[in-house]
Copies of this chain bind each other. A is one copy, B any other.
């Protein structure tokens, strides 16, 4: 090795040892006759010291070194006169006797600090420098730990990791596939997997019993902020299980990860049906770090001549605790927020509960004190609380109120990244109707099993069918989802038919799976977690990019390597494309 120690490991007990260190010149300074260099590597920072009176030549040499130079130094460990108890190596420094410059560095385009001066574009172009920043490195170390503890738990539970293929078959159902032309089979194409769904089901048919894989998946979607064309799943499947077995097994996984990565313990995760989630929070992934459950004022706010409420399908309120002191400006901001095009509310009504218990609303013209008391009572509002109300058709108003609730929570600082609230959402509908194309879609995917008691509804009323499907939500973010699968050929064919597949289409695209169900397919189910998302939640960040070593930008480009790019006519010719 070119070093005897890393930059993170020397302590007072090492004093007087001769050592060799390698690393980057993080910063340097000199105070007259004494010079200092902070030498950095992945493991930490060690202070090097140079004394003009001890060795003028090396003192002068050290002064000429620039930021991010790669150095190898030899020297002796010494106790520091002024210790730094903020760093693990803060008790010592190294008196340098010899410096070798292993590589020079141009001045980096931004500072290698947690609070850097580099903008997003610049940092992405020089991602290899950005990755030197401690905060980014720690994010990737966290990711490594999440996968390590995931494997540790699943291995201990008898899961076996199996790699499924990346070059598979395009299936137009769902999101768009990335496709790959085959040279050996000209005119034909592979697709990159959106998930290993069908393969993991086949592994269950094969009797693998418990499978997992931490695996790259691909979706050619129009990219939104924070959606990546390639992403990583913790993909799992089990045989001979019911929904309850899966919830308990993977609740165990998430607890194991949080315990080992964050040293946090959880009680049994709360559960909520999709129906209740929509009713009480207007979302299938409610953020439960704070309250503000929906209150329906339908029975107490109608009949006062306020036509907006009188004509609305529903009237929904939330009680914002201790927010009666919101300024006019804050209220206006919230009103503007819900009136944004993306949210689309017509307006927002509010009612303050004042210090003396009296009520002051934006619709005092229609509602007297008695009438407003009914609102307050319905909302359990106490003094200094603020009631916010939206109205309109049920579906839209719920969605709008969900947005408002989240925005108010943000204003109040309730979306605390250090608090974690996991929640299972269950009993999803099996189908949703696509008005535009006049057809049914699978809400989860076409392999999801309906609840057995709902089998009969398949022909009569598909909208009513509940699925054995579940999502794990943490802090309002869906980090995993899964279902009990269909393992019966007839039922699978019926589902495909409901989804508008002809028998031929179903056979062509998924024949291998449908056929497999005829050779002893066991009952099975599973779940997949978004690793990028799980890491960002654990790391307290909204952005998954911070947890990906080499992410792509919003147009799917890697600006560092400049991909995608042109390929040569020879390549195209070989592939039969021109």
A179 on the B face (CB < 8 A): yes
CA distance A42 to B204 in the complex (A): 10
Q: Does A565 contact B (CB under 8 A)?
A: yes
Whether A70 sits at the interface, judged by CB under 8 Å, is: yes
B565 touches A166 (CB 8 A): no
A129 to B566, CA, bound (A): 43
Q: In chain A between 123 and 159, which residues have their CB closer than 8 angstroms to a CB of chain B?
A: 126-129, 131-132, 137, 140-141, 143-144, 147-148, 151, 155
Residues from chain B with a CB closer than 8 A to the CB of A511 are 562
From known contacts A70-B522, A230-B166, A240-B2, infer whether A42 and B209 are also in contact, taking CB-CB under 8 Å: yes
**At the interface, yes or no: A119 with Cβ under 8 Å from chain B?**
no
Report the minimum CB–CB distance from A526 to chain B (whole Å).
Answer: 15
Q: Smallest distance from the beta carbon of A249 to chain B beta carbons, Å? A: 10
| A172 CA to B572 CA, complexed, in Å | 12
Task: Tell whether A540 is near chain B: CB-to-CB under 8 Å.
Answer: no
A245 and B190 form a contact (CB under 8 A): no
* Interface residue A503 (Cβ < 8 Å from any Cβ of B): no
Complex interface bits, A225-254 against B, C-beta within 8 A gives 1, otherwise 0: 000011010000001111001000000000
Give complex CA distance A141, B516 in Å: 22
A519-B129 in contact (CB<8A): yes
Q: Which of A155, A183, A561, A562 is the most central at the interface, judged by chain B CB atoms within 10 Å of its CB?
A: A561
Q: Is the interface of A mostly helix, strand, loop or mixed?
A: loop
The interface residues of chain B lying within 8 Å CB-to-CB of A575 are: 179
Given contacts A2-B523, A151-B151, A520-B68, contact A565 B170 (CB under 8 A): yes
Answer whether residue A374 sits at the interface, using C-beta atoms and an 8 A cutoff. Answer: no
CA distance A242 to B205 in the complex (A): 49
Q: Mark A181-221, 1 if CB is under 8 A from B, else 0.
A: 11111011111100000110011011111100000101010
Chain B residues with Cβ under 8 A from A218's Cβ? 166-167
Cross-chain contact A188 with B564 (CB below 8 angstroms): yes
Q: A169 at interface (Cβ–Cβ under 8 A)?
A: yes
- A105 in the interface, Cβ–Cβ < 8 Å? yes
User: Distance in Å from the Cβ of A41 to the closest Cβ of chain B?
Assistant: 6
Q: Are B178 and A180 in contact (CB under 8 A)?
A: yes
Q: Which of A46-54, A443-451, A550-558 contacts the other chain?
A: A550-558
Q: Is the CB–CB distance between B168 and A132 below 8 Å?
A: no
Q: How far is the CB of A531 from chain B (nearest CB, A)?
A: 9
Chain B residues, CB < 8 A from A312: none
Q: Which of A542-578 contact B (CB under 8 A)?
A: 548-550, 552, 555-558, 560-568, 571, 574-575, 577
Q: Mask for A92-132, Cβ within 8 A of B = 1, else 0? A: 00000000001111101000000000000000001111011
A55 at the interface (CB under 8 A from B): no
Interface centre among A148, A548, A567, A575 (most CB of B within 10 A): A567
Decide if A179 touches B179 in the complex (CB within 8 Å). Answer: no
Q: How far, in whole Å, are A499 and B162 apart by their CA atoms in the complex?
A: 40
Complexed CA–CA distance, A182 and B104 (Å): 38
Which listed residue (B3, B148, B162, B564) contacts A144, Cβ 8 A? B162
Whether, in the assembled complex, A373 has its beta carbon less than 8 Å from a beta carbon of chain B, the answer is no
A523 touches B102 (CB 8 A): yes
Q: Does A293 contact B (CB under 8 A)?
A: no
Residue A488 at the B interface, CB < 8 A?
A: yes
Task: Say whether B180 contacts A516, CB under 8 Å.
Answer: no
Contact A190 B563, beta carbon cutoff 8 Å: yes
Could you tell me the distance between the alpha carbons of A164 and B141 in the complex, rounded to whole angstroms? 14
Contact partner of A172 (CB less than 8 A), chosen from B140, B189, B488, B568, is B568
Contact of B240 with A103 in the complex, beta carbons under 8 Å: no
Determine the distance from Cα of A137 to Cα of B207 in the docked complex, in whole angstroms: 9
Query: Which B residues touch A523, using CB under 8 A?
Result: 2, 70, 102-103
Give Cα A555–Cα B176 distance, bound, in whole angstroms: 26
Determine if A333 is an interface residue (Cβ-Cβ < 8 Å). no
Contact of A561 among B102, B103, B169, B184 (CB under 8 A): B169
A24 to B129, CA, bound (A): 55
Interface residues as binary, A8-46 with B (CB distance below 8 Å gives 1, 0 otherwise): 000000000000001010000000000000001111000
**Shortest beta-carbon distance from A70 to chain B in Å:** 5
| A153–chain B nearest beta-carbon distance, Å | 13
Task: Decide yes or no whether A223 CB sits under 8 A from chain B.
Answer: yes
User: Which of the listed residues A242, A517, A523 has the most CB atoms from chain B within 10 Å of its own CB?
Assistant: A523
Chain B residues near A190 (CB, 8 Å)? 178, 563-564
- What 4 A-B pairs have minimum CB-CB distances, sorted nearest first? A105-B520, A131-B206, A169-B563, A188-B564
- Contacts A6-B209, A42-B208, A184-B222 supplied; 12 other A-B pairs, CB < 8 Å: A41-B209, A103-B488, A103-B523, A104-B520, A144-B162, A162-B549, A163-B549, A168-B558, A177-B571, A178-B190, A179-B181, A184-B556
